[in-house]
Amino acid sequence: MSHQLAGKVALVTGGSRGIGAAIVNRLTHEGAAVAFTYVTSAGKARSVVERIVSQGGKALAIEADSADPDAVKQAIARTVSELGRLDILVNNAGILIRGMVDEYDLADFDRMLAVNVRAVFVAIQAALPHLGPGGRLITTGSVVADRSGFPGASVYSMTKGAVAAMTRGLARDLGPRNITVNAIQPGPTDTDMNDDEAMRAMLRPLMALGRTGTDTEIASLVAYLAGPESSFLTGAALTIDGGYLA
């Protein structure tokens, strides 16, 4: 590892499992101290911290539901209080509730917006007072922003399309402050959100590479966006999908 993030502090929302945990691990391997939030996976959160500490890194687990704006703000405040600063925010927390439009529950609609869109805005707004020049704002979107691909994904697609649009707008707002804003758009990836083997088998022939992605591959793109070599990259929604959209 290059330790390109030595001395930096990052917060990753939704970092106890899947892609989030891989991002936390990768950023700590690059030298950053990393706080991360979780909601229900307390045991997995402890395991992530213990593994990182055993390897000489520094990690902090914070219980916070991204659907609660106050909890998001408190997670930012606690990160700064306990780790001393904030340089990198990775908005990774997200939920997927499928449903056809004629039967979709409005409570599910509101929760999808709250977690996948509003929480991103709230976290960025709360982080900005602590970010200096060179700060990094990164959000996990999805290729469904460009191609839903299957029935029942309209609301999820809408939320990820909103993330991509927000990223472009915020890049304009924050460019003069030398803060970059980018999103990543993973395609089909092996995670516990996508643990249906029948679905994976259906998707593999659609991938140019003939396979689904791994969480560590997604985390590698986040590490690049968090590091110094991405300083001229902002306002982008970067697809990492094994050729799913090709």
- Return the half-sphere exposure (C-beta side, CA atoms, 13 A cut-off) of residue 154: 10
Which among 38, 104, 156, 224 is annotated as catalytic?
A: 156
- Judge contact between 127 and 87, C-beta under 8 A: no
Residues 6 or more apart in contact with residue 228 via CB below 8 angstroms: 4, 134
Cβ partners under 8 Å of residue 142, min gap 6: 94, 156, 157, 160, 185, 186
Quick count: other Cβ atoms within 10 Å of Cβ 70? 10
What is the β-pairing status of strands 59-63 and 33-38?
parallel
Whole-angstrom Cα distance, residue 140 to residue 118? 14
Is 156 annotated as catalytic?
yes
Kindly list the catalytic residues: 156
